[in-house]
Structure 1
Amino acid sequence: MRKLILTTIAALSLTACKDDHLPDSSAPFDIKPVSAEYITVSSLPVTAVSGQITSNTTWSGVIEMDGIITVKNGATLTILPGTYIKAKPNVTGAATGVLVITKTGRINAAGTESQPIIFTSYKLLDGNEDTTAVPGDLGGIILLGDAPTNVPFTTSIEGLYLSSDSYFGGSNPGHNAGIMKYVRIEFAGYDYTGGNSGNEINALSLGGVGYGTTLDHIQVSYSKDDSFEFFGGTVNASNLVSFAAEDDHFDFDNGYTGTVTCAFSMADYNSRHAVNLGGSPDSNGIELDNNSTGMATALMTNPVINNLTIIGAKNGAAGQGLAYENGIHIRRNGRLTLNNTVVTGYPAGIRVEGTGSVLSSHSGYNSIQVHGFETSVTGAGTSAIPAANLLKGYTASLWGMKQPFFNEGGWNISPRNCGDFQGLWTKYDFAILE
């Protein structure tokens, strides 16, 4: 590793975390980067945090999470704009740098376009230009709530040990876990047993979270597992971007019924890719199940997604486009409603399989455009998409975008850039220069 690109920082000052055990300060944390300034930030003081947060607490500056941090008992964790959060390295292999907002806790992480809140790899903040960030350097963020799901209220979220602090789901659709806005999550994820075990911590896990919660302008990059996974709940989300996920960009199950508006995923075929036990590709733009068994339930998984753009690789070559599986995979009694959607650069564009699984649209199937290297669409509900909107072949379709493929240089998804996905708050280039 050589040296990170540095751009202008307007001003730097620092406060510590504020809670019962840390010093108070009234001075604002005023770091104003146009993008992550890892070299500069690595020279700032670091506040270490661990254990449970049971009273209102404020984070700012540079935070190091040691192990699993649990917010509970009515406490609100406030994270100020421009804060950087990393994990403490753990040589034992246990999960570290995991932030859990329990059903009795709340988060107030309201960044801004010019001062996003950044959860990132400790290797980018260690001051050592010879270290390289990798997926799994940070555990991830877990929000839990008591909105409806199709599993028992005593179900524990994936990736955490069974306890009341890990339970999700209930009967309050309006549950409010707080706010996450202008937040970046980089190099996160954890798999307890390895090999795509099904017991992973995602970059952002949402278990039974209700529609009182605000999720807006959140970017996940280089996650070890899924970028976003919705386990039931009714929470709505807007302006989500997933970049270079190892497994799935978006995953929905356990009776999730919220609405996602303006979402974008983009592949980096040089990144890591999940595989099945047999070694075949298992990385999807969207993976959706009603539940793990495919059983019908009173509450069925059926998200509504408005203005969705899924970009894979430009070419269907081994190690490039064929390293992935499906642009959208609806299975196990899952249901998905798509409005204004473009999918390109995966072996299969949209695959619907299993009893009860179906694709639908409120805006009309003419608003769905799908390309696949081998198959454009297959399964229940896909036959309603006009033939003119379905393409297959070795080279992916642009579908009216300027140049959407990350690995081809100078990417630009206009006119589908509904969420300012190339704005100041985002980051895609972690390259090192002389």
Structure 2
Amino acid sequence: MSKLATKLSVLLLALPLAACGDDGGDGNTPPDIDAGIDAALVDGGDGTATCIDEASFFAEAALANTIDTDPGLGDPTNDITPDFAPGAGAPVLSGGGTPPAGGFFDQTAEFIGAIGEDDWTAGWTAFPTNVPGIDLDNLPAGAEDVEEDITEATTWSADTVYTLRGKIFVRAALTIEAGTIIRGDNGSALAVTTEGSIEAVGTAEEPIVFTSSKDSGAAAGDWGGLVLVGKAPINVSGGSDVVEGFESGEEEGNVTYGGDDAAFDCGSLSYVRIEYAGFELSPNNELNGLTVAGCGSDTELDFVQIHRGLDDGIEFFGGTANVKHLLVTLPDDDGLDCDYGWSGNGQFIIVQQNANTGDKAIECDNNGDDNSATPRTNPTLWNLTLIGSDSTSGDTQAGMHLRRGMSADINNAIVAYFRSFAVDIDSTISAQLAADGELSIKNSYFFKNNGGDHWPSGFDISENAENDCYDAE
């Protein structure tokens, strides 16, 4: 089929979605005629189709987005000493929207991107390659192997290095002091169950570090990662699920999540670094650097870096947990993933993709089996900086993949240097939500994306998972 991209007026964006074939409700089977947003699709009767120019949709004046203007960041694609902050006089230092009132959002952040005049990443973050991001020559004198589950109130202190020797389930209160180092062997993970809690609060001067147990040759997937499970609502059938990769029986019982407590407190992480996580617990089931499953709004995630993980940096499975000052650097898969009805807030989020193996900076679904499931995945995200590698080896890298019935309110974002698309909105429901303004990206900069031939516009909004309007074929 010949697919012609044609700019259409903003009035056309108000049309209802045309009946362009039934995709069976899952958003994955292509409809009879490929459809663009709002079905500004016209069947000419001769096998041709006209789709909206999605780039013009994202550039509509009401959305206040800027396309193909350099945001003026320092050195964001550098994977050794990156600089994500805008330079003096950068256009993104002003012109953003005002974040919502209500207590969580910093309303003074009327700049575009995750960093304004003050660089919150300075001092506590690290970007190591093949070695842990700790001073191996000056480790604390104490050393303790952690081989058993935590079943009574426990404190880990900064004068001891703790090494996880397997999958450790936290069933009581675990407090981790500022400056503490936790190292993980192959096959290890730290999972905080609904019976337990974690209070891991570091400082900018003394962050808490989870890292590989290897002194050299450290790599993504050296250990499992950190898992938080709670009883906040998720949208899977039956209202509960199990974190992937754990064995059946007792292990599954420890990582079952979901419930009806929207405020469920999974604990506090502040000034925490997680390095080299993502060990494959079972075939094709790697843990994320940080898994947040069914966690509620009382959970505190602030100043967290996830570096060189084998799977996603962070993944939210439902719940209402919020996150602020999040830095995901060089993951082998997605930076931030969400599904199963996550409806939390996020502000000041940076993702830097891996040149050779990274996938999407953000990939969010509602529910792959039921795109209409409720509660719908519907995060509110402000002040993001999403960075590709600007490398020909990163042809699969992409900015935001928003799909399978999810909605979102995304504002003040920078999406730059991705060889693939800047934004791809898939599924009948998500496309309609975008048309209705319930899935929106506003006050944002898109720069130097779509370096490959398959996505010459850098944008796609469609009923199915194909690049309908800009297929190179």
* 2:459 maps to which of 356, 365, 377: 377
Tell me the residue number matched to 1:68: 167
Pairs within 5 Å for 1:242-253:
242-253=328-339
Deviations for 1:301-340, whole angstroms, at most 9, x for unmatched residues?
111111111000224x2x1x31x33211012112222011
Asked if structure 1 preserves the Cα contact closer than 8 Å seen for 2:294 and 2:320, the reply is yes
Match of 2:255 among 142, 158, 166: 166
Aligned-partner residue type, residue 261 of structure 2: N
* CA distance in 2 between partners of 1:150 and 1:349 (Å): 28
Contact 1:237 1:260 (C-alpha < 8 Å) held by counterparts: yes
1:273 — aligned with what? 357
Contact 1:153 1:167 in 2 (8 A): no
Residue 223 (structure 1) shift: 0.3
Query: What aligned pairs does 1:235-384 form with structure 2 within 5 A after superposition?
Result: 235-269=321-355, 272-273=356-357, 283-315=359-391, 317=392, 319=393, 321-322=394-395, 324-346=396-418, 347-358=420-431, 365-371=441-447, 372-373=449-450, 374=455, 375-379=457-461
Secondary structure in structure 1 of the residue aligned to 2:169: strand
- The TM-score normalised by the length of structure 1 is 0.69
Letter in 2 for 1:114: E
What is the CA–CA distance in structure 2 between the aligned matches of 1:39 and 1:298, rounded to whole Å? 48
Contact 2:430 2:439 in 1 (8 A): no
Task: Quote the Cα distance in structure 2 between the aligned partners of 1:47 and 1:298.
Answer: 45
- Specify every segment of 5 or more residues in structure 2 that has no aligned partner in the other structure, as ranges: 1-122, 127-132, 464-473
Q: 1:231 is aligned with what amino acid? A: F
Provide the residue aligned with 2:67 in structure 1. none
Question: Taking structure 1 as reference, are residues 43 and 173 closer, same or farther at Cα in structure 2, changes over 3 Å only?
Answer: closer
Amino acid at match of 1:110: V
Whether the 8 Å CA contact 1:338–1:362 is kept in 2: the answer is: no
Task: In structure 2, give the amino acid aligned to 1:58.
Answer: T
Decide which structure has the larger Cα Rg and report it: 2
Which letter maps to 1:145? G
* Structure 1 residues 314 and 46: alpha-carbon distance in aligned structure 2, compared to 1, 3 A threshold: same
SS of corresponding position for 1:40: helix
Task: Report the aligned-residue RMSD.
Answer: 2.3
Determine if contact 1:232/1:252 at 8 Å carries over to the other structure. yes
Shift of 1:206: 0.5
The aligned length equals 319
Secondary structure at 2:203 match in 1: coil
Post-superposition offset of 1:37: 3.7
Q: Is the 8 A contact 2:408 2:440 kept in 1?
A: no
Q: What CA distance in whole angstroms lies between the structure 2 residues aligned with 1:289 and 1:33?
A: 32
Q: Identity of aligned pairs, percent?
A: 33
Q: CA deviation at 1:157?
A: 1.0
Q: 1:334 to 1:293 in 2, by over 3 A?
A: same
In structure 2, relative to structure 1, the CA distance for the partners of 1:298 and 1:335 (3 Å cut) is same
Q: Is 2:219 the partner of 1:134? A: yes
Asked if 2 retains the 8 angstrom alpha-carbon contact of 1:34 and 1:115, the reply is no
Conserved 8 A contact 2:288-2:315: yes
CA distance in 1, matches of 2:370, 2:444: 26
Corresponding letter in the other structure for 1:63: Y
- Out of 110, 116, 120, the residue aligned to residue 201 of structure 2 is 110
Q: Could you say which residue in structure 2 is the equivalent of 1:182? A: 271
SS in 1 for 2:198: strand
Q: Which amino acid aligns with 1:303?
A: P
> Residues 171, 363 of structure 1: CA spacing in aligned structure 2 closer, same or farther, 3 A cutoff?
closer
Preserved contact between residue 230 and residue 253 of structure 1 (Cα < 8 Å): yes
1:257 and 1:368 map into 2 onto residues whose CA distance is: 21
Q: Deviations over 1:326-355 (max 9, x none)?
A: 211012112222011111111100001112
Please give the per-residue CA displacement for 1:179-222, whole angstroms capped at 9, x wherever unaligned.
Answer: 1000000000122455xx3x321110000000011100000000
Q: Which range moves more in the overlay, 77-86 or 183-192?
A: 183-192
1:87-137 CA distance string (max 9 Å, x none): 135xxxxx21x011111111000000000000011113xxxxxx2210011
> In the TM superposition, what is the alpha-carbon distance from 1:261 to its structure 2 partner?
0.8
Change (3 A) 1:193 1:101: closer
CA contact (8 A) 1:153 1:169 kept: yes
Is contact 2:378-2:407 (8 Å) kept?
Answer: yes
Say whether 1:83 aligns with 2:174: no
Rounded Cα–Cα distance in structure 2 between residues aligned with 1:351 and 1:307 = 19
What CA distance in whole angstroms lies between the structure 2 residues aligned with 1:303 and 1:261?
A: 11
Aligned to 1:54: 151
Q: Is the 8 A contact 1:81 1:115 kept in 2?
A: yes
Give the AA of the match of 1:76: A
Within 2, Cα distance between the matches of 1:85 and 1:48? 10
How far did 1:366 drift? 4.6
Q: In structure 2, what is the Cα distance between the partners aligned to 1:259 and 1:180?
A: 16
For structure 1, which runs of at least 5 residues remain unmatched after alignment?
A: 1-31, 90-94, 125-130, 275-282, 382-434
Q: Distance in 2 between matches of 1:366 and 1:339?
A: 5
1:34 and 1:114 in contact (8 A); partners too:
no
| Cα distance between partner residues in 2 of 1:142 and 1:220 | 13
2:232 to 141, 147, 157: 147
SS in 2 for 1:52: coil
Distance 1:298 1:243 in 2: 31
User: Partners in 1 of 2:322 and 2:383 — Cα distance?
Assistant: 14
Cα offset, 1:33, TM superposition: 9.0
* SS of corresponding position for 1:356: helix
Paired with 2:442 and 2:371, the residues of 1 have a C-alpha distance of 31
**Separation in structure 2 between the aligned mates of residue 222 and residue 204 of structure 1, nearest angstrom:** 12
CA distance in 2, matches of 1:39, 1:105: 31
1:158-177 CA distances to partner (integer Å, 9 max, x unpaired)? 22224321100100011111
Superposition map of 1:196-235 within 5 A: 197=284, 199-235=285-321
Q: Partners in 2 of 1:268 and 1:227 — Cα distance?
A: 11
